[in-house]
Amino acid sequence: MDKTLRNYLVITGGYWAFTVTDGAIRMLVVLYFHLLGYSPFEVAMLFLFYEFFGIVTNLVGGWIASHVGLNLTMHIGMGLQVVALAMLMVPDAWLSVAYVMLAQALSGIAKDLNKMSAKASVKMLVPDQNSETLLFKWIAVLTGSKNALKGLGFFIGALLLQWYDFRGALFILSAGLFMVLIVSIALLPAGLGKSASRPEFKQLFSNTAAINWLSAARFFLFGSRDVWFVVALPVYLYSVFQWSFMEVGGFLALWVIGYGIVQASAPKLLRQSHHGKGPGAGSVKNLAFILAIIPAAIAMALHSGFQPQVVLVTGLIAFGILFALNSAVHSYLIVAWSEHDKVAMNVGFYYMANAGGRLAGTVLSGWIYQTQGLTGCLWWSAIFVLAAGLISLYLPQTGRG
């Protein structure tokens, strides 16, 4: 097997294994702490540090990776996830809100170290500037498969909780990820992604216009999803449609899996393979403006009295397809537009904006749903996507502005 392909498969396999544990631990924490009698607000607070430290990690993670290598930061992320899983195996008396928030903080750091390292590493493995189509395909498969497997992780977490109880499930997940970590350390070359120039700490913030505009668009793009998907939608499905917890979780998991499949298929769906070129700034702009129509249309349909279950299910599918395509192009462009010595820092800065959008969307989702209902969340989603589209107008066609 070609060495480059082997390294890509090792990175992807490690990313897959980590992602399954990331989805599973979220489902385990939500279900188990609900059973322990935690209020919905307390359960939500458990994930606050997970999102916040994702922002911090993405900011400094790229700078760290440029000094020590992407493979090392990826392995540190896996190791921290093993520790986070092990921390939750303690007796119930130890599982205070503060303690679990600390464990989730480690998990958030681990997740974003792993994601940043895996995606930036692909750039190292496709050095030929004429291989844009191959780079788009590899990024799309890595990103799409990650989201599909995170949805699978929701199922696995619930299944392990039912079969082996909370601590048994955590032991299986941590032991499995530890074995993957050992294999990855043994197979990946040392120093992958290590920068020869050793950038200074003050260079954490990108001074490239294209990267800054793309990051700003990413903030609003992911905020537009989470402002209605994270809190408002599951609460609405449970309280208004009276779906069971498993029905709500299963439906959202299937949506995430389908979303990941669309992301992985983005190169074929967008048909951007002519002359070895991947999609450009025009694709980001067009997809954003089309996507903005979907949440607005759902809100108007609900307000007009159409059958809400049909409206939400079909609307969510349409939103997921367009959002997945937009996200896939974004993920490709941040890697394609980054120079090899700056890829880790640019990807880290970019996913800091991604994490910031998720945090803002999560907080707004609860507040807007409480004050304005689901239709209010949908209108804010449309506004956020429109903002992403308007920001995309400033993206240079070459990505080197």
Sequence-distant (6+) residues with CB within 8 A of 337 are: 208, 210, 211, 214, 346, 399, 400
| Residue 301: pLDDT over 70 | yes
CB neighbours (10 Å) of residue 36?
12
pLDDT-derived band at 326, boundaries 50, 70, 90: very high
Contact between 241 and 309 under an 8 Å Cβ cutoff? The reply is yes
Sequence-distant (6+) residues with CB within 8 A of 179 are: none
**Which tokens in the block code for residue 322?**
């367009």
More confident: 22 or 137: 22
What mean pLDDT, rounded, does the chain reach? 80
The pLDDT of residue 220: 96
CATH topology of domain 3-189+205-392: Growth Hormone; Chain: A; (1.20.1250)
Distance set, CA 261 to CA 34, 137, 257, 312, 351 (Å): 31, 13, 6, 20, 21
Interval 49-83: pLDDT, tens: 887 887 888 777 666 666 666 777 888 888 999 99
How open is the CA angle 123-66-176, to the nearest 5 degrees? 70
Distance set, CA 319 to CA 20, 25, 280 (Å): 24, 26, 21
As a whole number, mean pLDDT of residues 156-184 equals 87
Contact between 334 and 44 under an 8 Å Cβ cutoff? The reply is no
The pLDDT of residue 386: 96
The pLDDT of residue 400: 47
| Residue 204: pLDDT over 70 | no
Sequence-distant (6+) residues with CB within 8 A of 274 are: none
- Predicted TM-score (pTM) of this structure: 0.74
Sequence-distant (6+) residues with CB within 8 A of 379 are: 295, 296, 299, 372
User: Would you call 185 exposed, middle or buried from its count of C-beta atoms within 10 A (0-12, 13-18, 19+)?
Assistant: middle
The pLDDT of residue 297: 96
How open is the CA angle 281-254-13, to the nearest 5 degrees? 70
As a whole number, mean pLDDT of residues 209-237 equals 87
CB neighbours (10 Å) of residue 339?
10
More confident: 41 or 286: 286
